Amino acid sequence: MKVAVFLPELIRHLFRKPATVDYPFQKLEVPPDFRGTPFLHPDRCIACKACERDCPAEAIEIATVNEAEKTFKMVIHNDRCIHCAQCVDSCPTTPKAMEMDKLFEIAAFDRHDLKAEWVFARAVLKKEPKPAPAVPQAEPPPA
């Protein structure tokens, strides 16, 4: 093929910004809905186990630590996690006890280093107080 065919394209690209970045020295911002790594807000968790039940990779384990004190231990096995965010979707609390962060560089030499653990007391669901009924206003006396 003749060089003349490529030449206009080559010249055009000489003046364009590069399409890639110099990773890992330069990093791009991930999009706002990026599914990084799941993590727990232990103060919000009601230990309902919906996340453990629905996780398609069986990456979440929740065990009772002390039945009387209602304390639990959650382990997320990030070596199994497929970053689907099903655990976040299944979590019934508001705000969510389970969330995804923006991390994507979580490689480790030992898979066990990817385990994340929390021991926590079960949160109590807070109910919104009902608004007080409106007090009827007395009619002003006729002038």
Out of 48, 75, 106, 114, which residue is the one contacting ligand SF4 (CB under 6 A)?
Answer: 48
Phi, psi for 11 (deg, rounded to 5) = -65, -40
Contact segment (CB under 6 A) with ligand SF4 among 25-33, 47-55, 105-113, 130-138 equals: 47-55
Helices (H), 22-116: 50-54, 86-90
**Residue closer to ligand SF4, measured from CB, 95 or 142:** 95
Q: Does 120 bind ligand SF4 (CB under 6 A)?
A: no
Question: Least distance from C-beta 29 to ligand SF4, angstroms?
Answer: 21
The number of CA neighbours under 13 Å toward the Cβ of 31 is 3
Binding characters for ligand SF4, 5-44, by CB under 6 A (x = yes): ---------------------------------x-x----
Q: Does 121 bind ligand SF4 (CB under 6 A)?
A: no
Q: Does 47 bind ligand SF4 (CB under 6 A)?
A: yes
Binding characters for ligand SF4, 76-115, by CB under 6 A (x = yes): x----xxxxxxx--xx-x---xx-----------------
Helices (H), the chain: 3-14, 50-54, 86-90
User: What distance in Å separates the CA atoms of residue 136 and residue 104, rounded to the nearest whole number?
Assistant: 58
User: What distance in Å separates the CA atoms of residue 137 and residue 25, rounded to the nearest whole number?
Assistant: 68
Phi, psi for 122 (deg, rounded to 5) = -60, 130
